[in-house]
Copies of this chain bind each other. A is one copy, B any other.
Amino acid sequence: MPAQPRYLEDIEPGQTVEFGDRLVTAEEIVAFARDYDPQPFHLDEAAGARTHFGGLVASGWHTAAMVMRMLVDEYLHPETSLGSPGLDELRWHRPVRPGDRLRVRVTTLEVRRSQSKPSIGIVRQRLEALNQDGEVVMSHVGMGMVRARTLPADMAAGGGA
């Protein structure tokens, strides 16, 4: 868990945060694939070598899951993070292979306080997963619901609609 919760007021458009360092292993690629995506190129190096991937590659959903783990460990905080309604523009740009090390870059695009429930807000953020060579392997534009530290001055004073 990250040391400090990030409240809505702590997040600003243009902010970029980078974190994470997750080694991808063949064992984990295969274990995820056996449960959730048992296609040949996710299960077996030799089978992968016979495809356009040229070897064993992680399921795109496995990459998304590894990124989620880095978000939970180093970015989201249970006090402030209230889940996500979804995301847009999910793209798998490059294969993720055994031995790769992944990290995450989050760039805030938009911060909006809820009109109907001003104690929370929605942030829109571009997320990029990078490999050890700095190449983007996956990206998406996600929405997150975030708790605010305080109400706007006019509302805290009993004003507002």
Interface residues on A, range: 20 to 34
> Dominant SS at the A interface?
mixed
Q: How far is the CB of A107 from chain B (nearest CB, A)?
A: 18
Hey, which chain B residues are within 8 Å of A38, CB to CB? 69, 72
Given contacts A40-B78, A85-B91, A88-B88, whether A68 and B61 have CB atoms under 8 Å apart is yes
Per-position contact with B for A38-73: 1 when CB-CB < 8 Å, else 0?
Answer: 111000000000001000000111001110110010
The smallest beta-carbon distance between A54 and chain B, in angstroms, is 13
User: Can you list the 9 inter-chain pairs with the closest CB atoms, starting with the nearest?
Assistant: A86-B91, A36-B65, A36-B69, A86-B90, A61-B65, A37-B68, A87-B90, A61-B68, A36-B68
